[in-house]
Chains A and B, each alone.
Chain A
């Protein structure tokens, strides 16, 4: 799956989790950029992404990704493995 396709999917999921259709994600977006993105919604986001793509993130990926771009790197690594 292409990077921008993944970004599009993740944006959709984020809009759903944050309950806000205005949310726009880029590779550079961080949690601080989105008002609704707190620790709880972060976990919901991860859980929904894991479900959607059928993968499981490692602990360091969940807590260590600095922005959406790094998150997509991790996702692609998992997708390549399966």
Chain B
């Protein structure tokens, strides 16, 4: 979050465009809020003119038809009755009058609303009420209607009900800011008594964000669609490797985290947000949990567009955006993988890409905190848009062509390494042969002991591959085992790669590496074979793509002297 200092500096910066006009009216000092709101608007490129009235001028301004506030011709008027002031008013009341406190304040607020409606066209941003931990009767206060906590909670509820009846009122949920930050951070007593400011300078940016979020929604800047990754985002684990029975979803263990996340997403969909899937997977594999897993909350019917293939995600998101025919800036892309996030962010700067925390348990709270789904209307009944989009998608899918991502790959500054097996890596190599299902040409499983004997056997040529880029180290991501057929020929017994590093030139880097190794050792030909499994369809044609010659079904050969090194963006 920005600091108040950041906002103060930014508040001096103008934003091009016709500004929305916001007048602030409060019974406490609102000067700092005005500064913070101006600053936040500038950070969000929202042209906004703010008129701040003097302290405690609400009634004077609203009753006088020629007042400065009406003269300003605001689009919105922010009304802020601070709980601190209400608390003082409350305590000045005789005990017997306190039970009617919430009702009388509500009457006053309704009067303000009516005055505004009479005198100008502005809509109203209404702050709700923070709480004061009064404790006059300890915990017992909660059930005594002449206690402040009872009345302030009642007032919040009455306010909600009254706002529900009027279309021109937009709540600013100040209470939620207090709840998130805690009273000790939200409130600064010396500042209140010194300057009549009812929130701390540290809390002001959060309040300003709430105001600007609503202003953005009023200006039509809202999110309409969430594009979701699958593996380790919607469930724990990798469906292609772990299979239906082993992904984490449901009430048990870590699965609970993903279930709750899905519950929240389902609610978004019910509120009219379009959910889409964008996953690097085979479509059948990716859809299976939605169709068959008992504990999935989201089902295929909830997903407007389901895109699962091996193309880069930026191209797929463009496909989704064109099909839905909505602005890129109304899409939120949720993916646990920092590589994918950075790629999408770089290729599509307008899209919203939350920097998800590493721990899935924190996904939900983090996304809620960002408040992406601010809206200025709610129609209630769930929309049927999902189905419509599903049909439209089938049509446009065929028409799309994808852009190149070379520039992005280059900017990653990737560094790879290819080395013969060494002892410290045996376990990791064995583990990869046991776990990799998708990018695995022959799916031969090996134990630690197997790997050790292969490494020490002169009839084998072995290589393991690592990759890192400017965002981090991916570690050991590729394994190649070549078996000597005779003095001139090698056979690729194992070639596997982690799907995390797909489509960034690692495939080509691996081929360059083993062909170079074959050449160095004086071999003339390298043979490759693809053995189909239910999971490795994605590498069905990889040898062909890499320029190998097909000699029979699923069998290929490459002449070492004819091999031309592939252009890649991975350096050694």
- Chain A residues at the B interface, C-beta cutoff of 8 Å: 39-40, 43-44, 47-48, 51, 56-59, 62-63
Indicate if B194 sits at the interface (CB-CB under 8 A). yes
CB-CB under 8 A from B201, the residues of chain A are 43, 47
In the complex, A24→B390 CA distance in Å? 67
- B residues less than 8 Å from A39 (CB atoms): 195
Ordered by A's residue number, 11 sampled pairs between the chains whose C-beta atoms are within 8 Å are A39-B195, A40-B32, A43-B194, A44-B4, A47-B4, A48-B5, A51-B5, A58-B190, A59-B193, A62-B190, A63-B194
Decide: B194 and A40 in contact? CB cutoff 8 A.
no
Known: A48-B5, A51-B3, A51-B5. A43 touches B32 (CB 8 A): yes
What's the minimum C-beta distance from B475 to chain A, rounded to whole angstroms?
A: 39
Interface digits, B179-211 against A, CB 8 Å rule (1 contact, 0 not)? Answer: 000000000011101110100010000000000
Q: How far is the CA of A57 from the CA of B195 in the complex (A)?
A: 14
Smallest CB separation, B5 vs chain A (Å): 6
Secondary structure at the A interface, as helix, strand, loop or mixed, is: helix
Cβ-defined contact, B190 with A59, below 8 A: yes
Complex: how many Å from CA A40 to CA B36? 13
A48 CA to B8 CA in the complex, in Å?
Answer: 11
Beyond A48-B5, A51-B3, whether A43 also contacts B195 by CB under 8 A is: yes
Tell me the number of A-to-B contacts counted with CB atoms below 8 Å.
28
* A48 to B202 CA separation, bound complex (whole angstroms): 10
Q: Which 6 A-B pairs have the closest CB atoms?
A: A47-B201, A59-B190, A62-B194, A59-B193, A63-B194, A40-B31
| Tier of interface size on chain B | 10 to 19
- Interface positions of B (Cβ within 8 A of A): 3-5, 8, 31-32, 189-191, 193-195, 197, 201
**Given A40-B31, A43-B32, A47-B201: A56 touches B190 (CB 8 Å cut-off):** yes
In the complex, the answer to whether A59 meets B8 with C-beta atoms within 8 Å is no
Nearest Cβ on chain A to B35's Cβ, whole angstroms: 8
Indicate if the CB atoms of B190 and A44 lie closer than 8 Å. no
- A13: nearest chain-B partner, CB-CB: B5
Known A-B contacts A47-B201, A51-B3, A51-B5; A57 and B32 likewise in contact (beta carbons under 8 Å): no
Q: In whole angstroms, what is the CA distance A51 to B4 when docked? A: 11
- In Å, the complex CA distance between A73 and B189 comes to 22
Chain B residues in 8 Å Cβ range of A58: 190
Shortest distance between the CB of A28 and any CB in chain B (Å): 23
Which of these, B3, B191, B193, contacts A43 with CB under 8 Å?
Answer: B191
Taking each of A43, A48, A58, which has the highest tally of chain B beta carbons within 10 Å of its own beta carbon? A43
Contacts of B194 in A (CB 8 A): 43, 59, 62-63
Complex Cα distance A62/B196, Å? 13
